[in-house]
Amino acid sequence: MCGFVGFANLEMSADDKQEHLRSMIRGIAHRGLEEMGYYFDDYIGLGTVRLSIIDRPLGKQPMSTRDDRYWLGFNGELFNYLELRDELAALGVEFRTDSDTEVLLEALHVWGRDALPRLNGQYGFVLYDRLEKELMFGRDRLGERPAHYALVDGGIAFASEIKALFAFPAVARRLSPLALRQACSLWTPLPGTTCFEGVVAVPPGHFAVYRDGGVEVGQYYRLPYRPEKPLRDAREAKEALRDSLTRSVELRLRGDHKSGAFLSGGIDSAVTAALAQQQVPYRMKTFGLGVEDPAFDESAHGARLADQLGTEHSTVTVSRAQIRELFPDVVRQAEAPLYRTAAVASRLLAYLVHESGLRIVLGGEGGDEVLLGYDIFKEAAFFGRFHEFGSDAERRAWLQELFFDMLKTAPIETAAIVRFYRSLADDDVAALGPHLRRFRAEPAAEMIRAAGGPLDDELELLAWLRASDPAFDARSAIERAQVLDTTTILSGYGLSCQCDRVGAGAAVEARFPFLDPGVIEAAYAMPEELKLRDGRVEKHVLREAFADMLPSFVTDRPKQAMRAPGAECLLLRDEDDWVTDLLSDDRLRRSEVIDAAKARDVVERAHASSNGRVPYPYSHAYLQLLSVLILEDAYGAGFRVPDVDIESRLIKRVDGRALDPVAAV
């Protein structure tokens, strides 16, 4: 886990550049407390923080080519760096370190933008061309690691996390009402946007080039569509999935440290942990989550599986008191509204990994998106064949058998679902499928004072999906739901709020084998029937492919999402605390983005529950309301740069003005 910060094309003294770099570095010091460094010249200031995973002694950043023309700030890992290194060495490149940082630097030097499709990793980076006065930002295929920038005063500022951008005084700190509404109704800001005015996120699978005051954004990756070699045979598909996952785990075990694995008891984490334990020469440490509510607690399943696999297993139980205590800090880490409390549970898990002495942990994230594990994909299958049913009675009977995981949080009214899909008729936004039904149920969007309405957000989302995936409309209803989930919600919420930010705060790097390009290609090459059998049995091919490796209590168990105690943990209480202060009438009236009257209605509905749980969708809206107010306080007038002592860790300071001029190539 690392991070980068900086600015370019802005007039300031050398002393000011160094002081601003120090301030921005303090903003993301949690991403790499081991090593910090910076480079500056007459054009740019570039700072980095590093949590060393590969080649600790020599992989220091910022890193430059031998001629000092190119300078790199790199966050993340290249899993195929050894293979790329061999390719580059065959072309005559001489390496000075064993780090993947240098491999990325030389790959970009030799191949330019054409290097990006060759990379298998999780990363964000900035590359500075000192001769051309050009910056290139890149982000991994599915957005596992962040990269942000903001255009300011004719120049640019950039950082791995937004809070570091706000440590640079030229960047305005203003919430975006439009982006907040989209985040509340669509569960995540649209790709490329953030919840703050003027702050841009490089979209997953994209790059951005800054030159002469402007930015050009390009795309280098999209999800597969109609592969040349489809995997129609079930045996061949199972072999391809098993082989690609085995190779993916092998790549993600690379590094100078031992690895652990998350183990919930579900099949995705089970496959990941089982393959990892097979490939390492030591007894692996695994980590599970327990919750106080037995309806959501999976800890017994994880412990039982750990006994079968022979791993050294630890469990942390998340309590309602911890949710209440940690929620504000996790929102500040996430830099976006949360609609569930799972990110708090993820933070506790990350700290459990950290306290065990590990910094690398493998997880099963992405398995549901890649292999159709969510109930929403079952509903997409129903939506795709809606007109094939003979009657609404048949439709309702089919729906009654679909849902398992969703029933744990909300009742399912099959008649209402049928009416909803019938009402769409030829509406263009019907292409958003079952996600649309959920988006329109979210009441939080109405609390945000922004121009337009949720329909505008749906149309903008659909336009983005079509622009980034020209095959979107030609895909099946299931694949459209899959592409939407993977390219927006997974990257913008799951991988960002629940993985990257909380992991960075604990100095832990999580790696996800199901997001490997080879695994994705194999999965998309299979017929949907192999992944979602009969439109009802999720991840069928995965269960079959690993039936000989895992016990039946894992392979036969239905999908259950990770959940923690929810909005009921954060209701108003008799004694005053941060929730009371945040939801006071005075605080709501002072908000620049929240409609106080509509917010008060959400608060009242959240407190109206008679069974001790806040009902969906007001559970979402209540958490989003708290989140927006927390963000407004944290990143508005009250913003402060963390008081972190970085001087002892600033191991690299480079004054680029003293370097010899770079010769033209």
Residue 425 has what pLDDT? 75
Tokens of 526: 């299979």
Confidence of residue 664 (pLDDT cuts 50, 70, 90): very low
Position 22 in a domain: yes
Do residues 211 and 133 make contact, with C-beta atoms less than 8 angstroms apart?
Answer: yes
Query: What does the alpha-carbon distance between residue 43 and residue 145 come to, in Å, rounded to a whole number?
Result: 26
Residue 537 has pLDDT above 60, yes or no: yes
- Domain-ending residue, one of 221, 242, 258: 221
Confidence of residue 84 (pLDDT cuts 50, 70, 90): very high
Give strand ranges (E) for 416-458.
none
What pLDDT, on the 0 to 100 scale, is given for residue 662?
Answer: 55
394-424: pLDDT as tens digits: 999 888 888 766 655 666 788 999 999 999 8
DSSP codes, 37-98 = EEEE-SSEEEEEEE---S-TTT--SSEE-TTS-EEEEEEEEETTHHHHHHHHHHTT---S-S
pLDDT above 70 covers a percentage of the chain that reads 97
pLDDT (0 to 100) of residue 441:
92
Q: At what angle do helices 342-355 and 320-334 cross, to 10 degrees?
A: 90
Q: Are residues 313 and 344 in the same domain?
A: yes
Which residue type does 450 have?
Answer: A
Q: What is the pLDDT of residue 611?
A: 76
- Give yes or no for residue 622 having a pLDDT over 60: yes
Query: Average pLDDT, stretch 262-269?
Result: 94
Closest CA to 620 of 570, 556, 578, 580: 570
**Domain carrying residue 63:** 2-221
Is the pLDDT assigned to residue 320 strictly greater than 70?
yes
pLDDT digits (tens, 9 = 90+) for 332-352: 999 999 999 999 999 999 999
Tens digit of each residue's pLDDT (9 = 90 or more) over 47-58: 999 987 665 666
Contacts of 329 (CB under 8 A, 6+ apart): none
CA dihedral 341→346→351→353, nearest 10 degrees, is 160
pLDDT in tens, 198-248: 999 999 999 999 999 999 999 999 999 998 889 999 999 999 999 999 999
What is the rounded average pLDDT for all residues in the chain?
94
pLDDT of residue 59: 63
CA angle 253/257/258 to nearest 5° reads 65
Q: What is the rounded CA–CA span in Å between residue 549 and residue 448?
A: 50
Residues 513 and 599 in one domain: no
Pairing of strands 312-318, 285-291: parallel
For the segment 418-446, the average pLDDT, to the nearest whole number, is: 92
Q: Is residue 561 part of a domain?
A: no
Residues 22 and 159 in one domain: yes
Q: Is residue 386 part of a domain?
A: no
Confidence band of 101 (pLDDT split at 50, 70, 90): very high
Q: Is residue 601 part of a domain?
A: yes
Q: Partners of 56 in the beta sheet?
A: none
573 vs 569: CA distance, rounded Å: 10
Q: Which of 221, 242, 277 is the last residue of a domain?
A: 221
Q: Is the pLDDT of residue 102 over 80?
A: yes
Number of domains in the chain: 3
Distance of CA 440 to the CA centre of its chain: 23
Residue 74 and residue 130 share a domain: yes
Instruction: Say how far apart CA 518 and CA 240 lie, in whole Å.
Output: 9
CATH code: domain of residue 124? 3.60.20.10
- pLDDT above 50: residue 61: yes
What pLDDT shows up at residue 15? 97
Q: Peptide bond before 294: cis, by omega within 30 degrees of 0?
A: no
% of residues, the chain, pLDDT over 90? 86
Sheet with 650-655, side-by-side order of all strands = 200-201, 148-152, 155-159, 2-8, 44-50, 35-40, 650-655
pLDDT over 80 at 426, yes or no: no
In a domain, 583, yes or no: yes
Output the domain CATH number for residue 290.
3.40.50.620
Task: Return the minimum-mean-pLDDT range out of 34-38, 42-46, 628-632.
Answer: 34-38
Q: Do residues 199 and 341 share a domain?
A: no
Do residue 509 and residue 621 come from a single domain?
A: no
State the average pLDDT over residues 311-325: 96
Q: What are phi and psi of 412, to 5 degrees?
A: -105, 120
131-145 pLDDT, tens per residue? 999 999 999 999 999
Residue 404 is predicted with a pLDDT of: 66
Query: What's the half-sphere exposure (Cβ side, CA atoms, 13 Å) at 544?
Result: 18
* Residue-level pLDDT at 52: 72
* pLDDT for residue 34: 85
Residue 569 carries which DSSP code?
A: G
Looking at the domain assignment, is residue 645 inside a domain?
no
CA distances from 142 to 235, 474, 484, 496, 589 (A): 28, 21, 12, 11, 39
At which of 503, 525, 555 does a domain end?
Answer: 555
Provide the 3-class DSSP secondary structure of residue 206. strand
Shared domain for 197 and 81, answered yes or no, is: yes
Please indicate, yes or no, whether residues 180 and 257 belong to a single structural domain of this protein: no
Q: Could you tell me the pLDDT band of residue 565, with boundaries at 50, 70 and 90?
A: confident
Structure tokens at 284: 């692996």
Whether 565 and 270 have beta carbons less than 8 Å apart is answered as no
pLDDT greater than 60 at residue 193: yes
Token digits of residue 113: 């933008």
d(CA 440, CA 425): 16
Same domain, 591 and 528: no
Q: What is the mean pLDDT of residues 160-180?
A: 97
pLDDT class of 40 with cuts at 50, 70, 90: very high
For residue 230, say if its preceding peptide bond is cis, omega within 30 degrees of 0: no
Q: What φ, ψ does residue 599 adopt, rounded to 5°?
A: -65, -40
Whether residue 430 is contained in a domain is answered as no
Q: Which long-range contacts (CB under 8 A, 24 or more apart) does 255-259 make?
A: 255/53, 255/54, 255/77, 255/360, 256/52, 256/53, 256/54, 256/55, 256/56, 257/53, 257/358, 257/359, 257/360, 258/282, 258/285, 258/358, 258/360, 259/284, 259/358, 259/360, 259/361, 259/362, 259/511
74 and 23 in a common domain: yes
pLDDT of 298 > 60? The answer is yes
Residues 251 and 348 reside in one and the same domain: yes
State mean pLDDT over 314-322: 95
**Euclidean distance between CA atoms 77 and 629, whole angstroms:** 34
Q: Does 479 fall in a domain? A: no
**Confidence class of residue 665 from pLDDT cuts 50, 70 and 90?**
very low
Q: Are residues 326 and 273 in the same domain?
A: yes
List the beta bridge partners of residue 249: none
Residues in the chain: 665
Taking the C-alpha atoms of residue 570 and residue 324, their distance in angstroms, rounded to an integer, is: 6
State how far the Cα of 475 lies from the Cα of 485, in Å rounded to an integer. Answer: 14
Whole-number Cα distances in Å, 421 to 343, 384, 510: 32, 10, 38
CB contact at 8 A, 625 and 591: no
